[in-house]
Amino acid sequence: MTTGTSDDVHEIRWHGRGGQGAVTAAKILADAAFHSGFAGVTSQPSFGAERRGAPITASSRLAHEPIRVLSQVTEPDIVVVLDDSLVEVAHTAAGMKPGGTLIVNTTKDAAQLVAAGGIGGAVRVVTSDVTGAAEAVGLIVGGQPMVSTAILGAFARATGLITMDAVEAAIGHVFTGTAGAKNVEAARIAFECTTAGGAHQ
Amino acid sequence: MSAPESACAAALATASMEVMTGNDAAATAAKLARVQVIAAYPITPQSPVVEQLSAWVESGELPAEFVTVESEHSALTVCIAASTVGARTFTATSANGLAYMTEQVWWAAGARLPIVMCIANRAMAAPWNVLNDQQDSMSVRDAGWVQLYCRDNQEILDTTLQAYRIAERLHVPVMVCYDGFLLSHTMMPVSVPDAAVIDAWLPKYDHPLTVVDPADPRNIGPVVIADPRADASGEGHGGYMEIRAQLHGALLEVLDVIPKVDSEYGAAVGRQWGGLLWEHMLDDAEVVLVAAGSLGTQLTVAAEKLREEGVKAGVLGIRAYRPFPVAALRGKLAGRKLALVYDKALAYGYEGPICSDLRGCLLGTPDAPAVFGAVCGLGGRDVPVDQLAGAARRALADAEAGLRVRETDWINLHLEG
């Protein structure tokens, strides 16, 4: 049986700013992961008092058995950061398991991010201009690029845990019609524009 | 749940599954039950249940009356009125909302109305807190409702459907309780039964106790005096105490009905949940970890950790808290060394409510274990597996030192600030 803390569970922590869609992204990931073959998936918000612009987190777990731990993820295998201004100030790499993957929505490259500080230990840094992908297809709401779907393309590329077919289907469960098509396109662009910086020691 | 027998069965099982929150599971169950009247007032973390239902009513997907109200008191009052004339009704609330409707909580039970209400369990103010514990529903445990606690989102969906069958069979209201945020806002895979299967399993409610007929006007809910007396037509009727004894009798009958309905549901849908109680590695367990709700799920992991250390631990989950499954609990716990009850609520000035109830029901029975209490998770405080296991280690050490009575242990408490 899965313990939620053993090696066969992928524990994921999301960092974003209120209104940016981290919780929506986590939900779509759970759906996409389930349809990529993970029988046990959970995604949960951080249960705080959310305000637009404030740093927020969410947690996801993916396994092949039902998930039985509902605590927030504190020792993630994978961290996803929707806003690169949070990398250091939100302690996004805190508690990461050695060899973990840090996926950042940024126009910088991995070396620049590492040089900027806040990323220690043996963490693989993966970068993707997810905001650029959202802007390229016109995913702008209230003046803000919506990155909650495009980030799933980066996640699929960086981790190999979920398929793009499943990502596209999961996006379709949330957004339909023209909006659905735009979100899928943004995820595809982000998938192509994701670059692994290799292990950082 | 039995494991699928083949890849084909697994693929078929996956096809009917959706990844959804506990709130969506509750709303989906209400829709499958074809509820006719919904009345609710928004409160975190319950709100998404009735937001989803109102969207389905608006789109025509759920042909029901959605009554918007100015308070939880009115929400339950609308359900009471609708249920009195024979409608299948649904509402949901949390914490202070439940407290605000408390007067009508008692009315619904005393009037024997088969209302189903979901409770997304949340801490009671003050101080203000929207996060999870079980103080809200525990505070109305004595009002005459059935209370069922769920450990995951699938159980929320299945239990809400079962709740209608239990409620309508014995004319008692049922609360389906699930942990706020931990389940209400957490996405997990849920198998949604086919609507036709549920239609056959849960037919229209057609046998209300009170038949409202303009040709035969009645006075509904009159004042009842202490002693039995005859009505205007000479027919004898019980006084308050007889009516209350009948409610109590019906709740005790529910102890038989819950496992029956669970097994009937299993036959129709293919899943069942243990009836009154559920267990994990209990067979040879000496140390039994007891809890209601998702805390029980997390305790299964703690029990496995304890097993790795050589402690024979198991979990006994409370699914039905009211009526309290006295005989079943005695049967499961006789001969064990220790029962440690993890309560996410407190009877202030005493101890955790499940702990008190369990100790009382085991008192004087042969081979009763020591019963110790631990309080945890109040106001959303995390209940990490390591700390749950740590509390079990402390309790075991106390039991092995010969203690039979002990103060409540507080888990993950930091009074020093």
* Cross-chain Cβ contact A42/B380 below 8 Å: no
Instruction: Decide if pLDDT at B2 tops 50.
Output: no
Q: What is the pLDDT of residue A76?
A: 97
The backbone torsions φ and ψ at residue A153, rounded to the nearest 5 degrees and listed phi first, read -65, -45
Residue listed under structure tokens 């009505």: B231
* Judgement on whether residues B126 and B268 belong to the same structural domain of the protein: yes
- Residue range of the domain that includes B287: 277-410
A196 band by pLDDT with thresholds 50, 70 and 90: confident
Q: Give A 121-150 residues with CB within 8 A of chain B.
A: none
Q: What is the CA radius of gyration of chain B?
A: 22
- Other C-beta atoms lying within 10 Å of the C-beta of residue B164: 28
* Cross-chain Cβ contact B17/A43 below 8 Å: no
Among B181, B300, B383, beta carbon nearest to A68: B300
Q: Of the candidates B248, B275, B302, which is a domain's last residue?
A: B275
3-state helix, strand, coil in chain A (%, to 5): 35, 25, 40
B1 within some domain: no
In this structure, are residues A126 and A171 in contact, taking their beta carbons and an 8 Å threshold?
A: no
Residue listed under structure tokens 């991995």: A110
Handedness of CA B2, B8, B12, B17 (dihedral sign): positive
* Judgement on whether residues B315 and B213 belong to the same structural domain of the protein: no
* Judgement on whether residues B98 and B193 belong to the same structural domain of the protein: yes
Cα angle for residues B31, B162, B95 (degrees, 5° grid): 75
Q: What is the average pLDDT score of chain B?
A: 95
B6 within some domain: no
Among A4, A5, A42, beta carbon nearest to B188: A42
Whole-angstrom distance, CA of residue B167 vs CA of residue B165: 6
Q: In chain A, whose CA is at the least distance from the CA of B19? A: A31
Q: Of the candidates B260, B275, B290, which is a domain's last residue?
A: B275
* Judgement on whether residues B35 and B91 belong to the same structural domain of the protein: yes
B402 within some domain: yes
The mean-pLDDT minimum among A113-127, B113-127, B171-185 falls in A113-127
Q: What is the pLDDT of residue B170?
A: 97
* Judgement on whether residues B202 and B79 belong to the same structural domain of the protein: yes
B4 within some domain: no
B218 band by pLDDT with thresholds 50, 70 and 90: confident
Instruction: Decide if pLDDT at B194 tops 90.
Output: yes
Q: What is the pLDDT of residue A201?
A: 37
* Judgement on whether residues B334 and B211 belong to the same structural domain of the protein: no
* Cross-chain Cβ contact B187/A68 below 8 Å: no
* Number of domains making up chain B: 2
The CATH label, of 3.40.920.10, 3.90.1150.10, 3.90.550.10, 3.30.420.40, for the domain at A10-195 is 3.40.920.10
Span A108-122, pLDDT tens digits: 999 999 998 888 778
* Judgement on whether residues B194 and B321 belong to the same structural domain of the protein: no
How far is the first Cα of chain A from the last one, in angstroms, to the nearest whole number?
33
* Judgement on whether residues B341 and B247 belong to the same structural domain of the protein: no
Tokens of B382: 């995390």
Residue B66, classed as helix, strand or coil, is strand
* Judgement on whether residues B252 and B282 belong to the same structural domain of the protein: no
Mean pLDDT (whole number) for B338-356: 98
Chain B residues bordering chain A (beta-carbon distance below 8 Å): 14, 17, 19, 130-132, 152, 179, 181-183, 185-189, 294, 297-298, 300-301, 304-305, 380, 382-385
How far is the first Cα of chain B from the last one, in angstroms, to the nearest whole number?
44
Q: Of the candidates B275, B295, B328, which is a domain's last residue?
A: B275
**Separation in Å, CA of B18 to nearest CA in chain A:** 8
Q: What is the pLDDT of residue A48?
A: 66
Q: What is the pLDDT of residue B14?
A: 64
* Judgement on whether residues B160 and B237 belong to the same structural domain of the protein: yes
* Judgement on whether residues B303 and B243 belong to the same structural domain of the protein: no
Which of chain B's residues have a Cβ under 8 Å away from the Cβ of A27? 19, 187
CATH number of B204's domain: 3.40.50.970
* Judgement on whether residues B157 and B248 belong to the same structural domain of the protein: yes
The mean-pLDDT minimum among A55-59, B163-167, B209-213 falls in B209-213
B2 within some domain: no
B10 band by pLDDT with thresholds 50, 70 and 90: low
Residue B384, classed as helix, strand or coil, is coil
Q: Does A67 touch chain B (CB under 8 A)?
A: yes
Q: Does A94 touch chain B (CB under 8 A)?
A: no
A vs B: CB pairs below 8 A? 71
Mean pLDDT (whole number) for B166-185: 98
Span A23-49, pLDDT tens digits: 999 999 999 999 999 999 999 998 666
Tokens of A5: 């803390």
**Separation in Å, CA of B181 to nearest CA in chain A:** 7
Which of chain A's residues have a Cβ under 8 Å away from the Cβ of B294? 70
Whole-angstrom distance, CA of residue B373 vs CA of residue B378: 14
CATH number of B312's domain: 3.40.50.920
Instruction: Decide if pLDDT at B413 tops 80.
Output: yes
Whole-angstrom distance, CA of residue B165 vs CA of residue B257: 9
Q: What is the average pLDDT score of chain A?
A: 90
